[in-house]
Every structure is written in structure tokens, then in C-alpha cells.
Structure 1
Amino acid sequence: MTEFLSTHEPQVRLAAFAAVLAAMALWELAAPRRPQALTRWRRWPTNIALSALGAVLVRIALPVVAAATAVEAERRGFGLFNWTQTPAIIAVPLSMLALDALIYGQHVVFHHVGFLWRLHRVHHADPELDVTTGIRFHPVEILISMGVKIAAVALIGAPVVAVILFEVLLNAAAMFNHSNVRLPVAADRILRRAVVTPDMHRVHHSIHRDEQDMNFGFSLSLWDRVFGTYRAQPRDGHDAMRIGLADFPAPAPAGLGWSLVNPFSGSARRGEEQRT
């Protein structure tokens, strides 16, 4: 199993990505949570292109990715779990939990450090919220995120199966919780005790700064509850709330060129000086 995953990691991740994207897109058509002013065809090309450019940049700029780092760390006996020879049955779930906590912390930092926020605001600038918003990140942010994960994987000595499973689950969770899908109220209430649901994460994409700086989790809702960044509902309600950034109204964020250049535009908006 481990050898298969490490050998076919790109194919496994791509197949999982395509399956979840298709499933969530169909769910959005069948049971949308909110009406959308901008059609998919105005936004999807940019969102998918940003993700593809990020993947290409990572492959060009980094000699290894997180999964390959795990293989090399195991070969060299490097990292906490390799040093302690922790059994896989313990190392795999603990590694996935640690990586999820790392992504939560990284997300918080990207909201509060000036230049990192300028990169991350490209994600928040999407004027609508659906499955492709979950993969809409500036390529430089994707590169930085991979660098952070590589360092973490090496330090903890995460097993390769844990890294690949985490990457697949993280990507799937991001597409799920950004999706414009309607869940029964009771189901949402139960699910969000463990995982981040679309209604929970939608609060994070409000135009209100105090709501944007809440609900940072991507997979587990645990971290927001533990660290006091959990908000149950948006003040304006899910139907009436505005999505995106007040400083960058639609339709400009739907453009690929705008999205790539925006972090380097030199503008200091929305109290950005407070994030430095």
C-alpha cells in the first residue's frame, strides 16, 4: 500500500481531486445554498488556472514535494517518528493531526502578516463561493504552503502514507467546505462538531473583517474551538451575507491577470498596515 501510494502519488491525488470536484459540482447543481450573480463560466477558468499554475510552480521551484520528503526522511531515519521508531498505527494518525494543526496555524498567520495576507486575499477576493474557491490560491501562496509542509514532514518524520492521505483529505475538505451546497440544519450541526462544514466556513468569507478572522480550519473544526476562533453563524445570515472583499468588488477578481498581479500591486487597503 505504502509503495503503491508513494509510486503513484500524483495519479492518486489527481484522481481524488477530479472525483471530489465532480461530486461537489453536481451537488451544487442539485441543492445550491445561495443564488450566484456570477456564473461558473465567469469564475471557474480563473480559479482552476490559479491552482494549475501553483502546481506547476511547486514542481519547478522545489526539488521534492511533501510525499517525497517523507520517503527520504524514512530512508535516512530523520524526524521524530523515525528517531523513535513509532509504529505506523500511531505515527500515521498523529502525523495527520499535526499537519492539520499546522495548516490551521499557517492560515491564521496568512491573515495577520502583511505580505502573506496580500497573497491570501486573492483567495478571499472570489465574489462567490463554490467548490472551485477551495482551490483558488495564488501560486506563490501554494509554493509557500508546500515549503512549510515539507519542513513539517521532515521534522516529525511523518510516514509517506500519512502525508499522501493528508494531502488528499485536505484538498477534498477544502472543496467540500467551500461548496455552495445545502445541508440539513441537523446534519450541519452534527458534522461541524468534528469537521468544517460549508455553513461554518462561509462565515470566514464574509466581507466583515471580524468574521474573516474566524473559522480558520480547513478539515477539523477542533482547532477553531480550542483556540477561540470559532463563530457559529454570520451576523447577516447566510442568505443575505456578502462574500468577498469590500475593497475589491466583482467582477475584477474573476480575472486571471488581476488575481496574479494583485498581491504585488502596491495598494494598501482594508487596514492592511495593521497586518504587518
Structure 2
Amino acid sequence: MDIILAQEPTLRLAVFLGVLVGMAGWELAAPRRRQEIPRVIRWTNNLALVVVDTIILRLTFPILAVGLALMAEARGWGLFNALDVPFWLAAVLSVLLLDLAIYLQHVLFHSVPGLWRLHRMHHADLEFDVTTGLRFHPVEIVLSMVIKLAIVAALGAPAVAVLIFEVLLNATALFNHANVRLPAGLDRVLRWIVVTPDMHRVHHSVIPAETNSNFGFNLPWWDRLLGTYRAQPKAGHEGMTIGIEQFRTQRDLWLDRMLMQPLRGPASGGALDPREDDAR
């Protein structure tokens, strides 16, 4: 296990690239929706954003989640390091609680106008495919890391559990943003275990009532338990419009415009806004 933890960056990069390439190939072989915007526009800018996010993250934080978990274990910080619980139980609970925290953070970023300004860049993509899962504003990435580090330290989560969670979250975020077609029966079964592309695509609808549903990235249970689950989009998956109302031009898909989106226009479309919902 120590060897695996020591190879954390290599392991995470290998899984990330493997899932990214696999999902991209699946999208080409069996797309769920026809895409009108050339991939070269969206993919080059979305992937360039990943590079920017990664550089800023590495420059901002001297230690990331797995490293902090190792430090917490060594110094006895956090709940699970203070309690006499079996390692396997601490690991399982840590993964579940970290996933719940990501769900709640996602709801928060939809509910607070200033945070929604940051997060809406993710929703402003005009198509929905695997690279949409990489499209997050650098400031949101930094704030998300601060929250994650605080939770890891408070829980005293085992380092291996944090690594498992990080790998799962990266892989499922690519999977559930992919423009892939799953048989309806398989999708119905899978969405009890993991967030599927059809389940998460609803969250990227232009209709605010749908945008503010299906917040889970990895596990689908929180949406069902906390009342934010919506099974299907009103217009159907082929007919639904992706994105938000404010940024609808191809020029808005360029990196410079993406980075400036938090400063542009009103912070409308958030979860607490009064709206007509399904009356549209």
C-alpha cells in the first residue's frame, strides 16, 4: 500500500488519461446526441483550461489531499485517528462522507450567487461530452481544494481512502459527462450505483429546474435521499438544450471568455432564484 501511495501522481494520471481516451473513443463509436459545434473549438479550449487549473493548483497548495491525509495519520489529527475504529470501516466511511461533502459543495455552488458565478462556467458549455467534465474555473478549483483539505483533516481519513475517492471522482466525472449511449435497461440499473451520463446530463439542461437537480458526481444516492433527483429532462435527451441562457455563442467557448465569465452579466440561474421552472 505504501508503494501505491508513493506512486499516487502516476496512478491518478494513468487512470485519468485511460478513462479520457476510453470515453472519447466511446463517444465517437456510439454518441448519445449529435454535436453541432466542431470538437476542435471545444476540446482545445477545455483541455487548455485543465492545464491552467493544474498549474494554479500546484502553485497554490504545497500539499494536496492524499499528502494531507498522510500527515494527519502521522500526527493523529481528525475524527478517525481519534476513534478506535477498524481501518476498513474508517476507509469506507471516509469515501462515503467525502462524496456527500462533494454533493453538498455542489449544491452550495449553485445556491450562493458569488459561487454560482464561478460554477456556471462549467454549465456554459454548449455541448455535453467528456471534456465538459474538465471544465471548471480556476478559482472554483482552488476553493474546492480548500474545502476538500478541511474535510480530509477533520475526518482524519485514511490516505488510501482519499486516494480511492480521488481516483473514483476523476473517473466518474469523465464517465458521467460523456456523450455516450447506454441501453435504457442498463442505465436504469447503473444509476442506482453510479451517476450515469443520462442522469447527469439533466443537470446541464438550460431549464433552471433541471440545472438545479442531479448534483451527484460519483454516487447517485444523495440526490434521491435529499430530494434533488430528476429522472429525465422534460424535452428528452436528444431534444434538450445544453448550457445556460447567458452565454450562447461559440466565442464564449474560448479560454479567455471562460476565465472572464464570473465577471460578466447577472448571477441568474442559481438554485435559489425565483423562476417559472417547468412552465417554460
Please classify the TM superposition score into its range, dividing by the shorter chain length: over 0.9
Q: RMSD of aligned C-alpha atoms?
A: 1.4
Structure 1 unaligned runs (5+)?
Answer: none
Greater Cα shift, 78-87 or 235-244: 78-87
Following superposition of structure 1 onto structure 2, how do residues 156-235 of structure 1 map, counting pairs within 5 Å? 156-235=155-234
Identify the residue that residue 143 of structure 1 maps to in structure 2: 142
| CA deviation map 1:72-117 (0-9, x unaligned) | 0000011111111422211111100000000000000000101110
AA of the residue aligned to 2:266: A
Residue deviations 1:150-172 (CA, integer Å, cap 9, x gap): 00000000011111111110011
**Displacement of 1:8 after TM fit?**
1.6
* Native 8 Å contact 2:68 2:152 kept in 1: yes
Q: Deviations over 1:106-153 (max 9, x none)?
A: 000000101110110110000000001111101111111111110000
Change in Cα spacing, 1:271 to 1:195, as seen in structure 2 (3 Å) is closer
Q: Quote the residue 1:66 is aligned against.
A: 65
Partners of 2:30 and 2:17 in 1: how far apart?
20
Letter in 2 for 1:268: P
- TM-aligned CA distance change 1:105 to 1:269, over 3 Å: closer
Cα–Cα, structure 1 residues 210 and 169, in superposed 2: closer, same or farther, change >3 Å?
A: same
- Structure 1: how far apart are the matches of 2:270 and 2:129? 26
Give the Cα–Cα distance (whole angstroms) in 2 for the partners of residues 271 and 110 of structure 1: 12
- Whole-Å Cα distance in 1 between the matches of residues 4 and 49 of structure 2? 26
- For 2:96, the equivalent position in structure 1 comes to 97
C-alpha displacement at 1:49, in angstroms? 1.6
What is the rounded CA distance, in whole Å, between the counterparts of 2:184 and 2:270 in structure 1? 36
Q: Would you say the 8 A contact 1:195–1:220 is kept in 2?
A: yes
SS at match of 2:258: helix
Q: Note if contact 1:69-1:154 (Cα within 8 Å) is conserved in structure 2.
A: yes
- Runs ≥4 in structure 1, deviation > 6 angstroms? none
Please say if 1:42 is aligned against 2:41: yes
Partner of 1:82: 81
Separation of aligned partners in 2, 1:4 and 1:146: 24
Aligned length: 273
Structure-1-length-normalised TM-score: 0.96
How many percent identity over aligned positions?
Answer: 53
Query: 1:237 and 1:272, CA in 2 relative to 1: closer, same or farther beyond 3 A?
Result: closer
SS of the equivalent of 1:64 reads coil
| Cα distance in 2, alignment partners of residues 24 and 274 from structure 1 | 34
| Correspondence 1:13-24 to 2 at 5 A | 13-24=12-23
Cα distance between partner residues in 2 of 1:271 and 1:5: 43
In structure 2, the residue matched to 1:110 is 109
Correspondence for 1:52: 51
Asked whether the equivalents of residues 111 and 271 of structure 2 are also in contact (C-alpha less than 8 Å), the reply is: no
What TM-score do the two structures reach when normalised by structure 2? 0.94
Q: Which residue is 1:249 aligned to?
A: 248
SS in 2 for 1:201: helix
Secondary structure class of the residue paired with 2:118 = helix
The one-letter amino acid paired with 2:88 is: I
Q: 1: distance between equivalents of 2:240 and 2:153?
A: 42
Secondary structure of the equivalent of 2:237?
coil
Question: 1:247 touches 1:269 (CA, 8 Å); kept in 2?
Answer: no
Residues 5 and 164, structure 1, Cα contact 8 Å, conserved in 2: no
